[in-house]
Structure 1
């Protein structure tokens, strides 16, 4: 128990050392999964162990941080952490995300090079053993396009609040040069830039593999203050955005356990029905992508609403049947 308590205090110290703005007591409580009174006692214990911790006035509350960071003695990564980093990098590489894979491999090299000789010799065999015992199941599907040059240009524009220019080989006017305000990147089976163009305030998506001659411009282009990339992504079942619909699906008893473990949408509401079936409700756009996904559930799923999704599903089934029944 004492060891567990010390570990949790060290985790909190790392959070306080890793935050430039500091954490409030309420934020500490949420991060550690404890009540406010317990968070106060943990803060005091960390402060006693690390007297360099400071309090910053942020009315109506205070923030706390350890501005000088922690000594490397407290920062040695475990074999499990290094193996998880390698597995994540290998997963990116196997899925074609070469840019993000390269970044994680570089981070792994930096972490290992920062370890003292004895610590590195101790952890290296365990890391290799875990990596050999864990592998990545590569699922079929499109390999995402990740050009380091394209990603670097987009990130430069995002960090500098600058406009972005590129020639787009998609859309209604292929080959036209676009000038946009970049809002972020959505990574998935295909990778997309989210941006606004011209005076239209609605965010749009641009496939990265169709963007050429990408460059950050010396022109200010700050994003809307109220824009959230996560909220934008949560509006749609997949990537494509359209009219937001109220979706209700009923999954039969034969697949009820699968449905209870499945996430159709971040904001879904799941209820178990008396007959053993499961009802899933959420609001989203991207009905075509949703209908494609529902193919995988076979006859176990019933589309309760919206009617347009049910009709779209029927048309997609007719098209597939026509192509294969002969």
Structure 2
């Protein structure tokens, strides 16, 4: 128990050292999942161990941080942390996400090079053992396009709040040059830039593999203050954005256990009915992608609403049936 308390205090010290703006007592309590009074006692214990910690006025409260960071002895990564990093990098590489894989491999190299010789020799065998014993199953699907130069240009524009121009081999006018306000990147089965084109327009998705000749512009292009990339992603089941609709799905009792553990959408509400079936509701667009996913549930799922999703599912099934001589 004493070891666990010491570990929790060290976790808090790392949070306070890793936060540029500092943390309030309420933020500490939420991060550690404890009460405010417990968070206050833990802060005092950390302050006694790290007297360089400082309090910053942020009316009506205060923020606390350790501005000089922590000594390396407190920051040695564990074998489990390093193995998780390597496994994530290997998973990215296997799925085709070469740019993100390279970033994680580089981070792993920096962490290992920062370790003292004895610590590195002690942790290395355990890391290799865990890496050999754990892997990520790569599922069938398109390999995401991740060109380092494309991502670098997009990230430079986003960090500099600058406009971005590129030639786009898609849409109704392939090859046309576009000038946009970049808002973020959506990584998934395919990777997309989310951006605004022109004044008063709505955010759109642009496939990275159809973009070329990217240039960061000198013109300022800050994102709208009320824009949230996560909220934009949550508006659709997948990537394609169309009319947002109320979706109601019913899963048979035989698959209820699977459905209760399944994540159909970030905004879903899941209830189990008296007969053992499960009802899932959420709001989203992207009915075609949703129909493609629901097909994997076979006859164990029923589309209750909307009618457009039912129609889309029927149309997709008919198309597949015609392709295989069913009718």
**Secondary structure class of the residue paired with 1:216:** strand
Alpha-carbon distance, 1:201 to partner:
3.1
The residue number in structure 2 matching 1:199 is: 199
Q: Does residue 50 of structure 2 align to residue 45 of structure 1? A: no
Match of 2:158 in 1: 158
SS in 1 for 2:205: strand
Q: For structure 1, which runs of at least 5 residues remain unmatched after alignment?
A: none
1:119 matched to 2:119? The reply is yes
Per-residue Cα deviation, 1:133-154 (whole angstroms, up to 9, x for no partner): 1122111000000000000000
Aligned residues: 326
Deviation of residue 264 (structure 1)? 0.2
For 1:195 and 1:155, the matched residues in 2 are separated by 12
Partner Cα distance (2:106, 2:271) in 1: 45
How far does residue 171 in structure 1 lie from its aligned partner after superposition? Answer: 0.8
Cα distance in structure 1, aligned partners of 2:57 and 2:211: 46
Mapping 1:63-102, distance limit 5 Å:
63-102=63-102
* TM-score, normalised via structure 1 length: 0.99
Q: 1:211-290, aligned counterparts within 5 Å?
A: 211-290=211-290
Aligned equivalents of 1:109, 1:314: Cα separation in 2: 51
Cα distance in structure 2, aligned partners of 1:135 and 1:309: 36
SS at match of 2:156: helix
Which stretches of structure 1, 4 residues or more, deviate above 6 A after TM superposition?
none
> Which SS does the other structure have where 1:137 is aligned?
coil
Shift of 1:312: 1.0
CA distance in structure 2 between the aligned counterparts of 1:200 and 1:289, rounded to whole angstroms:
28
Q: Which runs of 5+ in 2 are unaligned?
A: none
CA distance in 1, matches of 2:184, 2:107: 22
